Amino acid sequence: MATKKPKTNAPVNDKINQLEQHTENSDQQFMTTDHGVRISDDQNSLKAGTRGATLMEDFIFREKMTHFDHERIPERIVHARGSGAHGIFELYKPLPHLTRAGFLNNTSKPTPVFARFSTVQGSRGSTDLARDVRGFAVKFYTDEGNFDLVGNNMPVFFIQDAMKFPDLVHAVKPEPDNEMPQAASAHDTFWDFISLMPESTHMIMWLMSDRAIPRSYRMIEGFGVHTFRLVNEKGKAHFVKFHWKPLLGVHSVAWDEAQKISGKDPDYHRRDLWDSIEKGAFPQWELGLQIVKEEDEHKFEFDLLDPTKIIPEEIVPVERIGRLTLNKNPDNFFAETEQVAFHVGNVVPGIDFTNDPLMQGRLFSYTDTQLIRLGGPNFHEIPINRSILPVHNNQRDGFMRQQINKGKVSYNPNSIANGCPFQAGRMQGGFTSYAEKIDGHKIRERSDSFRDHFSQAKLFYNSQSVPEQQHIVDAFSFELGKVTIPEIRQRMINILTLVDKGLAAKSGGEIRIACY
């Protein structure tokens, strides 16, 4: 009996063959979306003008960021290893000329807070003393809703546009073929990326400095990184950068000291924070503001919307307006520290955003991340995330729903519930976005004012003492000495020559000694 020849689907087989051939010819690959659409620009999000807001229609950015935000379950993709504490914020003096935010105008009532400190790169099981950026996030439970000041212990960031954030984190994380190294930037993929991204130069100087190995969480500065807006009752806006200044001062440890501490106690920073609070030696910081008038937005040599730049304090002093005191450890690490959900978009009336393209991307990314990490849209009902105010809206159901809503109505407008819940006008404390004028073409491009990548990196290096400069040289020598591809090392040294030729020469010379 003759065997029937199996049926084939020629078009499908041809498509598979084409895909296999295309995969093999990797040097001919074009970048595409997950649906095969070729991408013309993977460097910039779609904005309303070069300095305008990021547009929701940017399906390329949203697809890329959504995929990135959902890559890990359930550990945070970044800032996985953290430590937190409860406390209070006390205002020194009202600020009605700057903002209508209630907690920044009431000196008689402290605002309860929860703060979380963290490393960026490593997993939950990594060491506290890794060379890394430290997260410094504070949730204010105000009488007008929650305000999250989500920052770092360094005032700038690696990238200018949120489109590049997944690439940055992919590059700095353990390499995907062998899952090494853990909580470390001293490897090929990170420096390959950095050496091709000149905008990262300023941040790299901070990362290679002593600021990347703090002595204690109690001894780090905090920065909101972005330029925000404060808006007063009259609708007048000022640009603002937020600072946390530790009352114990800023202290670090040397690299060899960090290695010894990590070997003996990888929980060193966690333990230090916990023990200090238990003993009553409460950590304290002062909240400081750098204020810039709207009419002065363009008077600087850098762009206020560029997150890789600082406003030097010699130009705009930091005004200290209040004190943060952490005075209570969590009762349960998982329920509080692990489940706390911060979001740059959690603002209250009187605090608003700018068109910083990194900030604009974070406004989307944080909610998207919490949805997968905390199981659904009701993460705001977890006690540590819950507002101290009653919540009234038409959101219903979803995983882990706790609020029990009575009645028929879950829509607006309605007459069955007499129109409730009502929209709050501005005079009733309703949030109204700052009426910024927008005039620009939809475009994937970066403003020319974002193109200077080396001036502030040079400024930072020159501000360091001689021993601190040597520590930076040692850090570059160690990190680049772990890079196995010579072209990447040379490319990075070439970038360093644009910061300081002496730094480049010393770093490159010590690398050669280490390699040979």
**CATH number, residue 493:** 1.20.1370.20
pLDDT for the residue 7: 46
371 and 470 share one domain: no
Contacts of residue 124, defined as CB under 8 A and 6 or more positions apart, other chains included, come to 75, 80, 81
Domain count across the chain: 2
- Pairing type for strands 145-152 and 237-246 reads unpaired
- Active-site entry in 44, 86, 146, 152: 152
- Active-site entry in 44, 79, 86, 471: 79
**460-464: long-range contacts at Cβ-Cβ below 8 A with a sequence spacing of 24 or more?**
460/202, 460/205, 460/206, 460/209, 461/205, 461/499, 461/500, 461/503, 462/500, 464/209
Show which of 369, 387, 405 is a domain's final residue.
Answer: 387
Measured between alpha carbons, how far is 58 from 325 in angstroms, rounded to an integer?
A: 41
Has this prediction a pTM greater than 0.85?
yes
Show which of 345, 372, 387 is a domain's final residue.
Answer: 387
Around 458, how many Cα atoms within 13 Å sit in the side-chain half-sphere? 11
* Residue-level pLDDT, tens digit, the chain, 516 residues: 444 444 445 544 554 455 445 444 556 687 787 777 788 888 899 999 999 999 988 988 888 887 788 776 578 889 989 999 999 999 999 999 999 999 999 999 999 999 999 999 999 999 999 999 999 999 999 999 899 999 999 999 999 999 999 999 999 999 999 999 999 999 999 999 999 999 999 999 999 999 999 999 999 999 999 999 999 999 999 999 999 999 999 999 999 999 999 999 999 999 999 999 999 999 999 999 999 999 999 999 999 999 999 999 999 999 999 999 999 999 999 999 999 999 999 999 999 999 999 999 999 999 899 988 998 888 899 999 999 988 888 888 888 888 888 999 888 888 998 888 878 877 888 888 898 888 889 899 999 999 999 999 999 999 999 999 999 999 999 999 999 999 999 999 999 999 999 999 999 876 654 443
Measured between alpha carbons, how far is 206 from 212 in angstroms, rounded to an integer?
A: 7
Residue 403, domain member (yes or no):
no
- On the question of a cis peptide bond just before residue 421, with omega within 30 degrees of 0, the verdict is yes
Residue 136, domain member (yes or no):
yes
353 and 482 share one domain: no
Residue 380 annotated among the catalytic residues of the structure: no
Residue 152 annotated among the catalytic residues of the structure: yes
- Pairing type for strands 228-231 and 351-352 reads antiparallel
Give Cα 20 to chain centroid, integer Å.
Answer: 38
User: What is the residue range of 476's domain?
Assistant: 464-515
